[in-house]
Amino acid sequence: MSDAIKHECGIALIRLRKPYQYYIDKYETPLYAVHKLSVMMEKQVNRGQDGAGVANIKIDVPPGKRYISRYRSVEPQPLTDIFSKIHKKFRKGLKNNKDRANDAKWLQENLAFTGEVWLGHLRYGTHGSNEVENCHPMLRQSNWRSRNLVMAGNFNMTNVDELFGKLVSLGQHPKEKVDTVTVMEKIGHFLDEENQRVFERFKGIYENPTLSDVIEENIDLQRLLYRSCRDFDGGYAMCGLTGYGASFVIRDPAGIRPAFYYADDEVVVVASEKQAIKAAFNVDYGQIQEITPGSALIIDKNGEYNEFPILPKLEKRSCSFERIYFSRGTDPDIYYERKQLGKLLIPQILKEINYDLENTIFSYIPNTAETAFLGMIEGLEEYLAKKRKQAIMEGILFEADLDKVLSFRPRIEKLVTKDVKSRTFITADALRDDMVSSVYDTTFEVVRKNVDTVVIIDDSIVRGTTLEKSILTMLDRLSPKKIVVASSAPQIRFPDCYGIDMSKMKDFVAYRAVLKLLEERDLEYLLEDVYTQSVTSLATKNPYHTNYVKALYEPFTDKEISDKIAEIIRPKDLNAEISVVFQTVENLHKACPDHLGDWYFTGNYPTLGGNKVVNKAFSNSYEGKLERAY
């Protein structure tokens, strides 16, 4: 994606189902779980580069021995930093105890990170400073083992204010009004209540310390999670570890955020992406299951596991940006879908180049658009195969003409190369233009000057900044007659509020295009109407039912907005013609039929909180405020 955006986060959970000694004996190392977790996290580093964290819990170590360990890092290479520290702990602890290297009991009583339950997290900070305190896993501590809670997740909540208010009404005093704190404190509150409920049930039957064990065996995590999560509005895949060793992963009712798991007699593992599980455990993709939306995968203290319904399922609306851009393209399903996205653009592209394939070069903006590019070329080949068949069926009189028809191939070149391993969003806004102009390089002497059209495919166009400030200018130096930018995603028109950092309306070039069209056609009164409706709804106690901002797009066709976007991103001194082609929402659903989350394209939010956020985002934009809408 030329306009890279902060997005998502990555989760990785491992539960060893056999005694620690089993893994030392079978795999000849006490670091089996450390290695597997590092692979799972490395394969998801695309999901978070602002920071990382690892937590580990030992089950049933004696009192007085530390049973929760955690490292977090915001160093430039946080995974390297964390796992280097873990390995250093092992080396230091075994320096004078080499004969204990294969003794599980001694290791668990004397070394950190020798537990059976592991949780890893990779962070993209959509808000909040990039400090280690903001890195997951988060820890809620207690001197009662069963009241300890470790949490990490990939989520954003749209109703943080309401959740915060409920915590206050319960008598709590949360230290921050952010979703990470409110979510953990809410689940922690009901974990405390569940402990108390079980304590009251058994206190006259058992005495401590036996009573503590009885409490741990009878805590009902399904009940706890229902009571905790029933007020949540957002997209989430959240992992929790209890101090006594039970763990859970809960997924939002619309399946917005991804979560997958695999289990055998040795492990239960969970990750945000199937590829991470595949890489770490070398299992068939068919063995990796998706956690059901609205359900929790619960792993008890003994390692037994099952999925349990927690919240009523909504229509499944899993994030289509996962398929277009975020997730690793080596997942076979995602690879196929991205190729389809490229292939389905062919009719629009052919129309835009007036079917003149002889004078058109096809390329892509590195690197994640490459798979869509392959699909686009496959679509061109299919189109040419039909044209060849038609020509032969109609009869070709001359051998030279037949040779030309049979031998013609699309012209494919790599025109743009990413020259620096850097993501433009990392740079402060004030320096972004300088950064994007230096990130890319171009290939010269392959475009016929003022003759060839260049078609270049991108994953998506968000701000248009990189196209305007860098790529189009560089392509223009090759002197093409025309540049066609093809986006494998539809126009991004509305903010996201479920984990992607797209919260401000004026960040979207499609929205800026609509503002210009409204001005040009004397329709600016619609802005006032939508603003009045938005602020009125936000002033009520039930502002969730209507996305008023949709009305701003209704007077215009997709083509009119695309043409205006082309004007906006056109550099002032560009010589070539320029046009922009976007994927249709219909074709997006055709390419990704099981992942229908499209609210950033259509404004159809999967939860009611989304409507509140979009109306707030528009109101902020109208008032000139730069603050987030959630």
Query: What average pLDDT does the segment 457-483 reach?
Result: 92
Distance of CA 239 to the CA centre of its chain: 16
pTM, to two decimals: 0.91
Rounded to an integer, what distance in angstroms lies between the CA atom of residue 52 and that of residue 134? 10
pLDDT tens digits for range 178-199: 778 889 899 999 999 999 999 9
503: which 2 tokens?
């919260």
Domains of the chain: 10-149+239-316 (3.60.20.10), 324-623 (3.40.50.2020)
If one compares 469 and 618, the residue with the highest pLDDT of the two is 618
Rounded to 5 degrees, φ, ψ at 375 are -65, -40
pLDDT of residue 126: 55
- Tokens 């997958």 correspond to 260
pLDDT tens digits for range 574-612: 999 999 999 999 999 999 999 999 999 999 999 999 999
If one compares 5 and 155, the residue with the highest pLDDT of the two is 155
Rounded to an integer, what distance in angstroms lies between the CA atom of residue 206 and that of residue 85? 42
Rounded to 5 degrees, φ, ψ at 179 are -65, -35
The angle, 0 to 180 degrees and rounded to 10, between the axes of the packed helices 370-394 and 332-343 is 50
pLDDT of residue 4: 57
Distance of CA 305 to the CA centre of its chain: 26
pLDDT of residue 566: 97
Rounded to an integer, what distance in angstroms lies between the CA atom of residue 554 and that of residue 493? 12
Return the H-helix or E-strand segment holding 35. helix 32-42
pLDDT at 7 over 70: no
Beta strands 117-123 and 234-242 are unpaired
Please give the angle made by the CA atoms of 95, 121 and 155, to the nearest 5 degrees. 165
If one compares 544 and 252, the residue with the highest pLDDT of the two is 252
- SS3 category, 306: strand
Query: What average pLDDT does the segment 170-174 reach?
Result: 71
The angle, 0 to 180 degrees and rounded to 10, between the axes of the packed helices 160-169 and 179-202 is 40
359: which 2 tokens?
């004078």
Integer angstrom CA distances of residue 318 from 153, 293, 375, 487: 16, 9, 23, 20
Using pLDDT thresholds of 50, 70 and 90, give the confidence band for residue 352: very high
- Tokens 């995974």 correspond to 79
pLDDT tens digits for range 249-305: 999 999 999 999 999 999 999 999 999 999 999 999 999 999 999 999 999 999 999
pLDDT tens digits for range 403-447: 777 788 999 999 888 765 444 444 444 455 555 556 677 888 899
pLDDT of residue 177: 64
Rounded to an integer, what distance in angstroms lies between the CA atom of residue 418 and that of residue 428? 20
Query: What average pLDDT does the segment 620-630 reach?
Result: 86
pLDDT of residue 596: 94
**Helices (H) then strands (E): counts for the chain:** 24, 20
Highest mean pLDDT (candidates 168-172, 375-379, 437-441, 473-477): 375-379
pLDDT at 42 over 70: yes
pLDDT tens digits for range 55-67: 999 999 999 899 9
- Which residues partner with 270 through β-bridges? 13, 261
Query: What average pLDDT does the segment 103-122 reach?
Result: 97
Long-range interactions of 524-527: CB distance < 8 A, separation 24+: 526/551, 526/552, 526/555, 527/552, 527/622
pLDDT of residue 524: 96
pLDDT tens digits for range 28-41: 999 999 999 999 99
pLDDT of residue 424: 44
pLDDT of residue 70: 97
Using pLDDT thresholds of 50, 70 and 90, give the confidence band for residue 541: low
614: which 2 tokens?
């979009």
- Tokens 């901002």 correspond to 549
Query: What average pLDDT does the segment 518-535 reach?
Result: 96
Burial (CB < 10 A; 0-12, 13-18, 19+), residue 56, is buried
Using pLDDT thresholds of 50, 70 and 90, give the confidence band for residue 129: low
Return the H-helix or E-strand segment holding 334. helix 332-343
pLDDT tens digits for range 386-405: 988 888 888 765 667 677 77
pLDDT at 163 over 90: no
Segments of 314-408 assigned E as strands:
360-364
Closest to 320 measured CA to CA, from 592, 608, 37: 592
Q: How many CB atoms neighbour CB 423 within 10 A?
A: 15
pLDDT of residue 229: 95
Distance of CA 247 to the CA centre of its chain: 23
Helical segments of 208-319, H only: 210-218, 221-229, 274-281
Closest to 85 measured CA to CA, from 115, 108, 52: 52
Closest to 57 measured CA to CA, from 238, 215, 302, 244: 244
User: Residues of the chain with pLDDT > 70: what percent?
Assistant: 92
Beta strands 295-299 and 138-140 are unpaired
- Which residues partner with 239 through β-bridges? 152, 249
Using pLDDT thresholds of 50, 70 and 90, give the confidence band for residue 170: confident
pLDDT tens digits for range 202-218: 999 999 889 999 999 99
Max CA pair span of the chain: 100
Integer angstrom CA distances of residue 373 from 342, 350, 356, 364, 531: 6, 15, 18, 6, 40
pLDDT of residue 167: 78
Find the radius of gyration of the CA atoms of the chain: 27
465: which 2 tokens?
């900044």
pLDDT of residue 626: 82
pLDDT at 538 over 90: no
- Average of per-residue pLDDT values in the chain: 91
Helical segments of 129-288, H only: 160-169, 179-202, 210-218, 221-229, 274-281
Q: How many CB atoms neighbour CB 581 within 10 A?
A: 23
